[in-house]
Structure 1
Amino acid sequence: MGPLKPNLIELIVGLISFCVVLAAMAKVLPRIEKTLAEREEATAGTLEQAEAVRLEAQRIRAEYQAELSAARHEASRIRQAAHEEGVTLLAVVRAEGQKAREEMVVAAIVQLEADRVIAEAELREDVLGLATELAGRVIGEPITDLDRARAVADDFFAGEEAATKS
């Protein structure tokens, strides 16, 4: 009984067992192949679907990038326009401020000149009055000829102005 001379009963039992297993496998194998084919089909369909979803996502992303680029360009244009408008407004405001300042300076110069003339006239009158009073004290009697005193004072002030301007 060795490998070359098998036991007949064991050989028959082994063959019957082999046939049973082979018959069972013959029934199960088509189901396994069908299940594997369905899985392969499902996997292939899922891969195709995933590829379609990926392509759609890329298309949507490209559209989004284009819209984002357009929005950035529009924002840049708006910023540039606002900057230019701001520069223009600033120039206008500066010009108005410069004009107002010049008007204020001219008005102040006119007012100062008017105040100077008024102060000079008041000062001349005060100097004339004091000079007349002082001259009256020096000579011992009051000076009553105010027109003559005014003429002398005007000649004195004219001489002083001429000397100052020279």
Structure 2
Amino acid sequence: MSTHLAVLAAEESDHNPIIPTAYDIVWSIVVLIIIGFFFWKFALPAYRKVMDERSEKIEGGIARAEEAQAKAQSALEQYTAQLTEARVEASRIREDAQDQGKQIIAEMKTKAQEESDRIVAAGSSQLAAQRQQIVAELRGDLGRTAVDLSEKIIGESLSDEVKRASTIDRFLNELDSVDAGAADKVGR
């Protein structure tokens, strides 16, 4: 064995340990080619497939995100348009309500004025009728009183109906002319 060891030691001394032997290099190349072939034939297509799927998912996600963003922007614009339209509609309704309120107030004022005019007219006609009635009653009373006073002053009876009527009419006409003159002075 010592001879055997001596042969090995002699072989090793000729061989550089940094450089591999030729058969190691050949078998390493063969194994590398086999591994490279399997890698190129099976692993690389699977890797490319996974990478393509990921890139499609990413691109699809970006496209979906852009689409969703476009839809959101469209919805925002639609909402803004509807909000603007609603504000315009509310403003129009408010103006219509104000116009209707003004119209109702005007109608109520007109009706109130008509009612007031009617009440005043009814009061005036009633007052005129009462005035005429009072004037007629006062004329009768005043006429009788005037006749009684005249009879007392003259001392004779004014029983004759024609004389009595003419005296009363003359007296009342004088009173009317005095009242008309006084009313003209008050009216001025």
What TM-score results when the alignment is normalised by the length of structure 1?
A: 0.59
Which of 72, 84, 90 is 1:75 aligned to? 90
User: Which of 109, 112, 128 is 2:124 aligned to?
Assistant: 109
Change in CA separation of 1:127 and 1:164 when aligned onto 2, cut-off 3 Å: closer
3-state secondary structure, aligned to 1:144: coil
What one-letter code is carried by the residue in structure 2 that aligns with 1:131?
A
SS in 1 for 2:159: coil
C-alpha distance in 2 between matches for 1:114 and 1:141: 37
Instruction: Spell out, residue by residue over 1:93-145, the C-alpha distance to the aligned partner (whole angstroms, 9 max, x if none).
Output: 33333233223322222221111111011011122233344455567786534
Q: 1:90 aligns with which of 105, 108, 111?
A: 105
AA of the residue aligned to 2:144: G
Q: 1:144 — aligned with what?
A: 159
Structure 1, gaps ≥5 residues long: 1-34
Map of 1:129 onto structure 2: 144
Find the structure with the greater CA-based Rg: 2
Q: Does 1:60 align with 2:44?
A: no
TM-fit CA distance, 1:47 = 5.4
| Aligned-pair CA distance for 1:149 | 2.9
Q: How many Å apart are 1:42 and its aligned residue?
A: 6.5
Listed one character per residue, the Cα deviations across residues 3-41 of structure 1 (whole Å, up to 9, x for unaligned) are xxxxxxxxxxxxxxxxxxxxxxxxxxxxxxxx9999888
CA RMSD of aligned residues (A): 3.8
- Taking the aligned partners of 2:113 and 2:129, their CA distance within structure 1 comes to 24
Q: Structure 2 regions of 5+ residues with no counterpart?
A: 1-49, 182-188
**TM-score relative to the length of structure 2:** 0.54
Quote the Cα distance in structure 2 between the aligned partners of 1:62 and 1:123. Answer: 88
Structure number with greater CO (CA < 8 Å, separation at least 6) is 2
Aligned residues: 139
Greater shift, 63-72 or 103-112, is seen at 103-112
Contact 2:147 2:158 in 1 (8 A): yes
Which deviates the most, 70-79 or 45-54?
45-54
